[in-house]
Amino acid sequence: MSFFINIWRIIVSAWKHFVRNLWLALSTVFVLVLAMLSVNVLLGVNVLLNRAAQELESKIDVSVYFLANTPPAVLEQAKFLMTSLSQVQSAELIMPDTVLENFKKQHAAEPEVLGSLAELGENPFGATMILKAKNTADYPFLLQALDNPQFNFAIESKNYDDHAETIKRVREISNSVQVFGLILISIFALFSILIVYNTVRVAIYTQREEIGIMRLVGASNSFVRMPFVLEGIFLALFAIVIAGGIVYSATVYLEPYLSTFLDGADPGLLTYFSANWPQLVGAECGVLAGLVALSSWAAVGKYLKK
Amino acid sequence: MITLEKISKIYPPNVQGLRDINLKIDHGEFVSIVGQSGAGKTTLAKLLIAEERPTRGRIDIGGWDITRIPGRDVPFLRRQIGVVFQDFKLLPKKTVYENVAFALEVASMSGRRIRDIVPQVLKIVGLEEKARRFPHQLSGGEQQRVVIARALVHRPKVLLADEPTGNLDTLNAREIIDLLLKINSFGTTIVLVTHNREVVNALRRRVITLDGGMVVSDQAEGKYLLPV
Ligand SMILES: Nc1ncnc2c1ncn2[C@@H]1O[C@H](COP(=O)(O)OP(=O)(O)O)[C@@H](O)[C@H]1O
Ligand SMILES: [Mg+2]
């Protein structure tokens, strides 16, 4: 019973502190919001870079062009052998007829190309096999595996565009963003701690008479301390709500623009934030409230010891 | 009730607040502690509520050795000793009632008990009619009575008052002393720190005189001896 009375009185008293020092509280919230935004922007950039790398990786494949008139049995054999490799994600066979049709479709507006094709009288194309590896790193192995005496005689040419340079660049950017981000986040965390510490010190200073009386009439240390710690947590919660609102609206607003950079692919920001928001908000709340509570605690502690 | 054995207090770096004090105050006594400014009276009062710790010696209150009392136990000590200190005034933004109730709120008392106790102590100090007023609407003597009421809410066995008549005229001072006598008559031990000669001489109770941090006299029905 008395526990709940206490909790309620402490919350009320913390809220009063917050309102009384409104301007100080607002500027503190502002700094905390900046800190939260920097964290979330970095998260978002990271998501985007990962997405871009993924997008590039999904475009990598090996096209294997078979000689025309390769017996279907050999093609099936090749497909079967490649599929059975654990590194292979998919092996798709495009039969000569389909290749021809695709070719005709592609060159529908070029009568001379179609004309010379017609002159040949028969389908000049062999089948094509499109291979995708589970891992980018496995492509060299796939290329080797294609040199299989059971069907290599039927391969006319291979086309492997690995985008390796681009992917490497994206990964490098992503890594340096992470390092830079960690430094930035640490700086903001430090600022947040100092700012909250200072805010609580000021709050304590304006309340020093009340605190003196509280202690004199037998208030426990935690009763004196909790309102200030809670005040810090209030500040943190405000900051999180505001930062959350900004992050959400910015994501919704920016996503269409971002998708044009990714050749129209979904940038995945909104998906990422909406799929992970409970964990993100939880973790950010936890860390921020923890830091803030700790620095408020320390600020009052200095006063209590005298 | 209160025992001090060979108590010395040295403030850093090297200020001798108290020197080798031996005292015994019995349950129900009314003791005045007098002495010139800087004699160590406030230091003694602060030791009794563990606001300061003695450098040497031992303090015992009601069988509780508070010499090295840990910080987390101090609040419980404070609820057993009512305190009226010069520099702890009323909260200006709270009414008389709220100022007194505050002392109970911080000790996790339920709302019902608070509504029960506050009018009782306000009645003892004769301010039940002025419960809704703010401190600035009261005279100095009335304000001091509210402070005393606040000190009484935990029904302390000891009431410790440091210069409670410090800023009051003779008439108001007289009223405060009468109030302390009344509280003493209920069985509460009173430790009154003062340098008011008239007050002490009129009381005809035990007087302990401090000088330079030492007890220089301790008389059962004492007078204020030293020149003011
Ligand atoms: N917090 C303190 N730090 C250093 N010296 C102090 C402190 N408090 C009191 N003193 C010194 O201790 C002596 C006794 O002071 P105090 O107990 O306040 O005397 P009184 O209340 O009798 O006027 C004085 O010399 C005073 O300057
Ligand atoms: Mg003094």
User: Does residue B39's CB lie within 6 angstroms of at least one atom of ligand 1?
Assistant: yes
C-alpha span between B26 and B113 (Å, rounded): 30
Residues A207 and A272 placed together within one structural domain of the fold: yes
Interface contact flag, B78 A218, Cβ < 8 Å: yes
Nearest CA to ligand 1 atom 18: B42
Residues A80 and A125 placed together within one structural domain of the fold: yes
Residues A33 and A179 placed together within one structural domain of the fold: yes
C-alpha span between B177 and B165 (Å, rounded): 8
Nearest CA to ligand 1 atom 7: B11
For residue B45, name the pLDDT band (cuts at 50, 70, 90). very high
Tens of pLDDT, residues B46-96: 999 998 999 999 999 988 999 999 988 998 999 899 999 877 688 888 899
Q: Listing from the earlier edge strand, what are the strands of the sheet with B56-61?
A: B15-25, B2-11, B56-61, B64-65
- DSSP-derived letter for residue B165 is T
Residues A234 and A184 placed together within one structural domain of the fold: yes
Tens of pLDDT, residues B152-209: 999 999 999 999 988 888 888 999 999 999 999 999 999 999 988 888 888 889 999 9
What is the distance of C-alpha A72 from the center of its chain? Answer: 45
- Give the closest residue to A11 by CA, choosing from A237, A222, A228, A208: A228
For residue B228, name the pLDDT band (cuts at 50, 70, 90). very low
CATH superfamily of B2-219: P-loop containing nucleotide triphosphate hydrolases (3.40.50.300)
For residue A213, the chain B residues in CB contact (below 8 A) are 88, 91, 102-103
Supply the pLDDT for residue A9. 77
Report if pTM > 0.80.
Answer: no
Q: Is A215 exposed, middle or buried, given 0-12, 13-18 or 19+ CB atoms closer than 10 A? A: buried
CA quadruple B119, B122, B123, B128: dihedral sign: negative
Low-confidence residues in chain A, pLDDT < 50: 1
Nearest CA to ligand 1 atom 27: B38
C-alpha span between A91 and A106 (Å, rounded): 23
What is the position in ligand 1's atom list of the atom closest to the CA of B163? 21
* Domain boundary, last residue among A102, A130, A162: A162
Substitution target in B100, B106, B109, B143 with the highest count of A β-carbons within 10 Å is B106
Phi, psi of A124 (to 5 degrees): -80, -10
Residues A230 and A137 placed together within one structural domain of the fold: no
* Domain boundary, last residue among A108, A131, A162: A162
Supply the pLDDT for residue B145. 94
Residues A45 and A87 placed together within one structural domain of the fold: no
Cα angle vertex B157, ends B151, B163, to 5°? 45
Residues A226 and A155 placed together within one structural domain of the fold: no
Please determine, for the modelled complex, whether the ipTM score is greater than 0.85.
no
Residues A81 and A182 placed together within one structural domain of the fold: no
C-alpha span between A123 and A272 (Å, rounded): 47
Tens of pLDDT, residues A78-136: 889 888 888 888 888 888 888 888 888 888 888 888 888 888 778 888 889 988 888 87
Q: State the ligand closest to the CA atom of B10.
A: 1
C-alpha span between A65 and A126 (Å, rounded): 7
Angle between helices A164-206 and A22-59 (to 10 degrees): 170
* Domain boundary, last residue among A144, A162, A180: A162
Residues A148 and A100 placed together within one structural domain of the fold: yes
Question: Please, are residues B70 and B76 in contact by the beta-carbon 8 Å criterion?
Answer: no
Residues A31 and A177 placed together within one structural domain of the fold: yes
Amino acid type, A288: L
Ramachandran category for residue B38: left, alpha or beta (phi over 0 → left; psi -120 to 50 → alpha) = left
Mean pLDDT value across residues B145-150: 95
- Tokens at B113, concatenated: 């008990």
Mean pLDDT value across residues B38-43: 93
C-alpha span between B102 and B118 (Å, rounded): 10
User: Does residue B76's CB lie within 6 angstroms of at least one atom of ligand 1?
Assistant: no
C-alpha span between A172 and A184 (Å, rounded): 18
Residues A158 and A201 placed together within one structural domain of the fold: no
Phi, psi of A156 (to 5 degrees): -85, -45
Residues A158 and A105 placed together within one structural domain of the fold: yes
Domain membership of residue A93 as a residue range: 61-162
Supply the pLDDT for residue A216. 84
Supply the pLDDT for residue B225. 65
Supply the pLDDT for residue B131. 95
